[in-house]
């Protein structure tokens, strides 16, 4: 969601992809930030890092830390910058530092949203260049803009991409809400990996409430170990 707000385009990679296939997706989508889960997935990208000079940051998160191969982040943020490898906490710290006097990242997003909606008070809160740039990018987005690239698994040949637009995902998300008469009390479990289009559509359900006043429900995802069981 953060990438969407900033005008970025997300592209998913299967955890089963080979290093070559993963590098192909990053190159083909011209991605500048790679987010992966755990040291094992990071190693996959490090093996082909020389092919990815345009990548500015590798960000590692851990839902369930691997006891055998835990990810050990750099000791300082400066060291992480030099290596271009960040833990999730360090990556979030970069955003907080960039927000500066304009407040935290969350406050910056709230102020930008208010400004885009035409709220004069929100406009007055855009005190940092980061918040002003975020508001500009949000206001410039249109329904036909590409929201994400959805790639095939690449089991037969190199992965192939489908471009999914903002209005496509919003139509599907709101149609699901209306069809199943979902309420805010709903709890939904998604067994799909977040790289899939279906899982991405479920994530947009929350946006559907904010933008279209339809409804929102809580979507719970399963990590890889739970799906394998």
- What residues form DSSP beta bridges with 148? 10, 164
pTM (predicted TM-score): 0.73
Per residue in 92-121, pLDDT tens? 888 777 666 444 445 554 554 555 555 555
Biggest alpha carbon–alpha carbon distance for the chain = 54
Stated as kind and residue range, the H or E segment containing 220 is strand 218-221
- The answer to whether residues 187 and 8 touch, using CB atoms and an 8 Å cutoff, is no
C-alpha of 188 from chain center: 20
Per residue in 131-169, pLDDT tens? 788 888 888 988 899 988 888 887 778 888 889 888 888
Per residue in 42-73, pLDDT tens? 999 999 999 999 999 999 998 777 788 889 99
Instruction: Please state, rounded to an integer, the average pLDDT across all residues of the chain.
Output: 76
């Amino acid at each position: 969601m953060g990438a969407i707000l900033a005008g970025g385009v997300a592209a998913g990679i299967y955890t089963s992809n080979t290093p070559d296939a993963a590098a192909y997706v990053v190159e083909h989508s011209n991605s500048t930030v790679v987010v992966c889960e755990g040291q094992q997935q990071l190693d996959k990208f490090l093996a082909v890092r020389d092919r990815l000079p345009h990548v500015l940051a590798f960000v590692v998160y851990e839902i369930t830390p691997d006891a055998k191969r835990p990810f050990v982040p750099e000791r300082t943020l400066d060291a992480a910058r030099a290596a271009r490898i960040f833990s999730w906490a360090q990556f979030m710290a970069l955003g907080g530092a960039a927000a500066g006097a304009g407040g935290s990242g969350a406050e910056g997003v709230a102020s930008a949203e208010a400004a885009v909606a035409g709220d004069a008070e929100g406009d007055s809160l855009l005190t940092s260049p980061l918040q002003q740039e975020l508001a500009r990018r949000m206001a410039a987005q249109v329904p036909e803009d590409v929201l994400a690239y959805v790639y095939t698994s690449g089991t037969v040949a190199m992965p192939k991409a489908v471009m999914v637009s903002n209005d496509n995902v919003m139509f599907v998300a709101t149609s699901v809400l209306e069809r199943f008469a979902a309420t805010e009390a709903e709890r939904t479990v998604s067994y799909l990996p977040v790289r899939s289009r279906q899982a991405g559509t479920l994530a947009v359900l929350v946006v559907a409430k904010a933008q279209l006043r339809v409804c929102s429900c809580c979507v719970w995802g399963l990590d890889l170990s739970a799906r394998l069981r």
